[in-house]
Amino acid sequence: MFTELNSILNIAPDSITQGEFILVSDRQSDASFLIHHFLSLFLRARCRVLFLSLVQSFNHYSAVSQRLGVSLAQAKEKGQLVFLEGLKESLSVLIPQETDAATLSPLSVVRDPAVGLRSLYEFVQFRVSSSGEGRTGAEEWGPPVLLVDDLSVLLSLGVCAGATLDFSHYCRALVCSQLQGNVVMLTRCDGDQEEDEGNNEGPERLLKGLTHLCSLSLHVQGLPTGFCRDIHGQVEVCWRRRRGNGQHMQKKLFQYKVHDKGASFFARGTSSAVL
């Protein structure tokens, strides 16, 4: 968990704002360190977390979380963490052990993109709603949290951007509005922005749609000046709040450096490495 980032966002394990839709995105960079941060933050806050990991394995996140002082294995054992490992789940869909295994899987879209994301949403709905009373055995948890890494993978599986945005909208309505929990989603735009703008079903459309849904966005990209050994990139943080009939927006730009057990953040121009 990154204390400097918590200070920037004005959050802490004992003061989590409810009903937030947080968008994490990157362009030709890697924003996964922010997913690790939010995972450890919400687990420390005693929230019940549903993690849809569509890219990395449980062992990957467990190893990183261990360095941040959080045990994912213990969180799973206590029922605080529900982890959908997309790589394993996709394999079970493509090579089902039972006749109807692929049909029942939340990632049945891997076999047939035409079926859409209804089964995945129903999986989310069942898992987060079952924690609505805040209890799992003898433990008591806070509001539910949905983490997704990374949503743009669905595009590569043949799901259109519109269907992916619909899935995100329904998840926000369920988790943020109905259950007063939080949603954190990561999406990537690896290509050039101008080249992708003409693609109505590409990652740019997905990013724009998610930006309209979110209340807080963190966009990671490389330094405009190029590679720097002491600074790994920059993060644009944008808060969106409704005021009356309009929307108030506040943006701040920070440079960052990721360490083995954390990250440092600098207001743009305050680091001696990059002016």
| 112-171 per-position pLDDT tens digit | 777 889 999 999 999 998 754 444 455 789 999 999 999 999 998 889 999 999 999 999
Q: What is the pLDDT of residues 175-202, one digit of tens each?
A: 999 999 999 999 998 766 555 555 667 8
- 261 pLDDT tier (thresholds 50, 70, 90): confident
Q: What percent of the chain has pLDDT over 70?
A: 84
Residue 155 confidence (pLDDT): 92
pTM of the model: 0.88
Residue 196 confidence (pLDDT): 55
Residue 269 confidence (pLDDT): 46
- Please give the residue that has the higher pLDDT: either 75 or 195: 75
Is the pLDDT confidence value at 76 over 80?
yes
Is the pLDDT confidence value at 243 over 60?
yes
Is the pLDDT confidence value at 39 over 70?
yes
Residue 116 confidence (pLDDT): 83
Lowest mean pLDDT: which of 101-105, 211-215, 234-238?
101-105
Task: Judge contact between 103 and 146, C-beta under 8 A.
Answer: no
What is 3-267's CATH topology?
Rossmann fold (3.40.50)
Is the pLDDT confidence value at 61 over 80?
yes
Q: What whole-number distance in Å separates Cα of residue 161 and Cα of residue 154?
A: 8
- Please give the residue that has the higher pLDDT: either 105 or 127: 127
Residue 65 confidence (pLDDT): 93
Domain boundaries, the chain: 3-267
Residue 57 confidence (pLDDT): 92
Residue 134 confidence (pLDDT): 45
